[in-house]
């Protein structure tokens, strides 16, 4: 399997899993579970911020973030719109890359000021896996308030994709 195909699959999966999780989060009654919803949004916002940081890094641009989350907590709806745009950006970006470009090293500065260097492929893999970890934390919060979690594993995504193509 080629790197571009694998990464594109991971970003398509990420967008699919995000859509399911945001739909579930939107079903939480804010008057009954304000603290839990706030905590979930803070985690989701962290994913969004990191995704934006790495968009800038991949383009060798300054990202302007001084922390891995924002001071203000966005609304879930605003955050979802931003996440959908970022998810689409990553899918378009990966699809446009030539296979050899994933090995290119990119120098950047971490939010704490430490210099960093990762290959384009490593950056993209980090973004894809980073979101998985934190979506799991949000899922745990939602499960604890009685929400039935979506079956959002990569295997379910791939099975549904295959069935849709049949």
Q: Report d(CA 152, CA 156) in Å as an integer.
A: 6
From 1.20.120.450, 3.40.50.2300, 3.90.550.10, 3.30.465.10, which CATH number describes the 3-161 domain? 1.20.120.450
Kindly provide the b/e burial profile for residues 50-72, where b requires at least 16 CB atoms within 10 angstroms of the residue's own CB: bbbbbbebbeeeebeeeeeeeee
Contact of 56 with 62, CB cutoff 8 Å: yes
Instruction: Give the residue ranges of DSSP H helices in the chain.
Output: 3-26, 34-58, 76-96, 120-144, 154-165
pLDDT at 110 over 90: yes
Rounded Cα–Cα distance for residues 36 and 3 (Å): 38
DSSP state of 32: T
pLDDT at 152 over 90: no
Instruction: Please write the tens of the pLDDT for every residue from 20-43.
Output: 999 999 999 999 999 999 999 999
pLDDT digits (tens, 9 = 90+) for 63-91: 999 999 999 999 999 999 999 999 999 99
Structural domain boundaries in the chain? 3-161
């Amino acid at each position: 399997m080629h790197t571009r195909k694998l990464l594109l699959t991971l970003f398509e999966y990420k967008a699919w899993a995000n859509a399911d999780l945001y739909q579930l989060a939107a079903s939480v009654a804010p008057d009954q579970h304000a603290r839990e919803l706030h905590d979930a949004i803070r985690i989701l916002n962290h994913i969004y911020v990191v995704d934006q940081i790495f968009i800038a890094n991949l383009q060798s641009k300054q990202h302007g973030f001084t922390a891995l989350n924002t001071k203000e907590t966005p609304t879930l709806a605003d955050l979802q719109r931003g996440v959908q745009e970022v998810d689409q950006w990553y899918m378009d970006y990966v699809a446009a890359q030539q296979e050899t470009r994933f090995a290119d090293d990119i120098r950047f500065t971490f939010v704490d000021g430490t210099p960093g260097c990762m290959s384009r492929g490593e950056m993209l893999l980090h973004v894809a896996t980073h979101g998985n970890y934190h979506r799991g934390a949000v899922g745990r919060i939602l499960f604890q308030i009685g929400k039935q979690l979506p079956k959002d594993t990569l295997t379910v995504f791939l099975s549904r994709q295959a069935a849709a193509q049949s």
